[in-house]
Amino acid sequence: MKILFASQAIDGHFNPMTGVAVRLKERGHNVAWYTGPVFRDKLRDLDIPLLPFQRAIEHRVDNLIELYPERAKLKGPRAIGFDGEKIFASNVSNFFEDIRELEHYFAFDVAVVDSSMFIHRLVASLMGKPLVNFVAIPNMESDPQVPPLFFGFKPARNPVERSIQAAAGFLSDNVILRPAGLSYRRQLAAYGQAAPRHGRLTDEPYRSSAAVIQTGPEALDFPRRHRNPAVHYVGALLPYRPPGPAGAVAERDTKEAERWPQYPRTLLVTQGTVDNVDQDKLIVPALEAVKDMDALVIVATGGRGTEALSARYPQPNIVIRDFVDFARVLDFTDVFITNGGFGGVQLSLSKGVPMVVSGINEGKSDVNARVEFAGVGISLKTERPKPRRIAQAVQEILSNAAWRTRAQQMRDHFAAGDPAAVAAAVVEKAAGLASD
């Protein structure tokens, strides 16, 4: 069977899909990937052919400000609305025309498509192909019990909160997402298609796909009144890691880690892979908060300003690196301080590590609300937390064993099965190759 994977050229969307693609290859299927050229080397290492964007704009982590200089000045709802229109909705026709063209030389039987591409209805309706929606972020399908997007709300507990969330939901659906929604509808109309009158733009991939692979366990989502039978919570779909010895680089990192000083506690700090240019947002206040604690502090900068930061914080208990092996370091971490990227959150919980989360942009407020709702971490609800607040949150988690207990209970949900195998079975069933 020929399977087409399609994703944005963004690490947080591409990486979680890699394990599923490799698993399907191992099952004997012919897999190819439509995405940006930025992932050429990664796909070569996976022995998966790249079908690169032709018409589509390659939105990458490192080129957004270059493409859209005005984006740097936007904050809050305006930034979210801008990204929704420019980065996601504007490419729908380009994505679809690329895929319709590549189908001539890769006649795929089923497509596994990143939820943020919004081409699901066009591919399913106009090409007649079974399509699986791949969601690398929390479940964004609307539901009466689920708070509106982008505000970081937890489920309402009383009439006052329900009223506030209803007003915020109106703002989210009719103001923040309006430009993206209008762009999407115009593009569908050009193909003679019409989006449903009810529901928001982010519902579309859920409602026009044969099946939905939802990353993360259901225990990390909010309770829902209506359960979409097409949605399959498969657990932590983390970036593919080859089995066996991890290679010379990993061996070098392991030997270095063995030389790190020993402390009774270990704290891991990251500001993610997208919004890590301004380290004063989280990395610097986190270091100010914990630099004098009796703890080993490991910081991953994502390759930005590592040397300068190391000179600024020469304390013997602080280790600052461009990158660290999170999967290995989290095995001995007590608290993970992060801006709330969904991949990092899942990896932390898969290791039973509680978190201090701080972030609002790129949908992180909704991720962090789920962390807090599940009782596995403390959300600081800001882009720029004060060192004092970070220190208080870290001390609370270290001094109260209930945080680690709940994180370890969540770890059991992640360890319940083989996420890549479950997701691969969802794809095969959507293509008619498997049954219940």
pLDDT tens digits along 289-327 = 999 999 999 999 988 889 999 999 999 999 999 988 898
Judgement on whether residues 265 and 198 belong to the same structural domain of the protein: no
When comparing pLDDT for 241 and 195, which is higher?
241
* DSSP 8-state secondary structure symbol assigned to residue 320: E
What pTM was computed for the model? 0.92
For residue 33, is it within any domain?
Answer: yes
Instruction: Say yes or no to pLDDT of 230 above 90.
Output: yes
pLDDT of 228 reads 94
How far apart (Å, rounded) are the C-alpha atoms in residues 286 and 51? Answer: 41
Judgement on whether residues 297 and 154 belong to the same structural domain of the protein: no
pLDDT of 362 reads 75
Crossing angle between the packed helical segments 11-26 and 419-430, to the nearest 10 degrees: 80
Q: What is the CATH number of the domain that holds 85?
A: 3.40.50.2000
pLDDT of 15 reads 94
How far apart (Å, rounded) are the C-alpha atoms in residues 216 and 213? Answer: 10
Judgement on whether residues 189 and 278 belong to the same structural domain of the protein: no
Bridge partners, residue 356, by sequence: 337, 378
pLDDT tens digits along 247-291 = 444 555 666 777 788 899 999 999 976 667 789 999 999 999 999
Bridge partners, residue 298, by sequence: 268, 319
pLDDT tens digits along 393-421 = 999 999 999 999 999 999 988 877 799 99
Residue 198 CB neighbour total at 10 angstroms: 7
Task: Output the CA angle 286-290-293, nearest 5 degrees.
Answer: 170
For residue 138, is it within any domain?
Answer: yes
Instruction: Say yes or no to pLDDT of 432 above 90.
Output: no
For residue 60, is it within any domain?
Answer: yes
Instruction: Say yes or no to pLDDT of 360 above 80.
Output: yes
How far apart (Å, rounded) are the C-alpha atoms in residues 206 and 224? Answer: 15
pLDDT of 173 reads 86
pLDDT of 77 reads 76
For residue 407, is it within any domain?
Answer: yes
Residue 17: closest CA among 1, 35, 38, 2? 35
Instruction: Say yes or no to pLDDT of 435 above 50.
Output: no
How far apart (Å, rounded) are the C-alpha atoms in residues 205 and 228? Answer: 12
pLDDT of 278 reads 85
Which residue in this structure is represented by tokens 């209930």? 402
Judgement on whether residues 200 and 279 belong to the same structural domain of the protein: no
How far apart (Å, rounded) are the C-alpha atoms in residues 133 and 201? Answer: 14
Judgement on whether residues 421 and 407 belong to the same structural domain of the protein: no
Helix or strand run (H / E) with residue 221: none
Domain limits for position 424: 2-241+416-430
Instruction: Say yes or no to pLDDT of 25 above 80.
Output: yes
pLDDT of 248 reads 47
For residue 155, is it within any domain?
Answer: yes
Task: Output the CA angle 408-409-414, nearest 5 degrees.
Answer: 85
Instruction: Say yes or no to pLDDT of 6 above 60.
Output: yes
Residue 182: closest CA among 84, 58, 67, 70? 84
Judgement on whether residues 233 and 281 belong to the same structural domain of the protein: no
* Structural domains counted in the chain: 2
Judgement on whether residues 190 and 118 belong to the same structural domain of the protein: yes
Judgement on whether residues 58 and 163 belong to the same structural domain of the protein: yes
- Given phi > 0 = left and psi -120 to 50 = alpha, else beta, which region is 28? left
Which residue in this structure is represented by tokens 């069977």? 1
Contacts of 33 (CB under 8 A, 6+ apart): 4, 5, 6, 7, 21, 39, 43, 48, 49, 50, 51
For residue 435, is it within any domain?
Answer: no
8 A C-beta contact, residue 217 and residue 417: no
Judgement on whether residues 318 and 369 belong to the same structural domain of the protein: yes
Judgement on whether residues 191 and 274 belong to the same structural domain of the protein: no
Task: Output the CA angle 358-419-302, nearest 5 degrees.
Answer: 35
Mean pLDDT throughout 28-41? 97
For residue 436, is it within any domain?
Answer: no
Judgement on whether residues 155 and 208 belong to the same structural domain of the protein: yes
Mean residue pLDDT of the chain comes to: 91
Q: What is the identity of the amino acid at 180?
A: A
DSSP-derived 3-state class of residue 34: strand
When comparing pLDDT for 198 and 272, which is higher?
272
pLDDT of 251 reads 57
Mean pLDDT throughout 152-171? 94
- pLDDT band for position 244 (cuts 50, 70, 90): low
Distances (CA, A) of 73 to 362, 383, 415: 15, 15, 42
Structure tokens at 167: 């007003």
Bridge partners, residue 319, by sequence: 298
How far apart (Å, rounded) are the C-alpha atoms in residues 203 and 140? Answer: 7
Judgement on whether residues 105 and 161 belong to the same structural domain of the protein: yes
For residue 191, is it within any domain?
Answer: yes
Which residue in this structure is represented by tokens 């044969």? 210
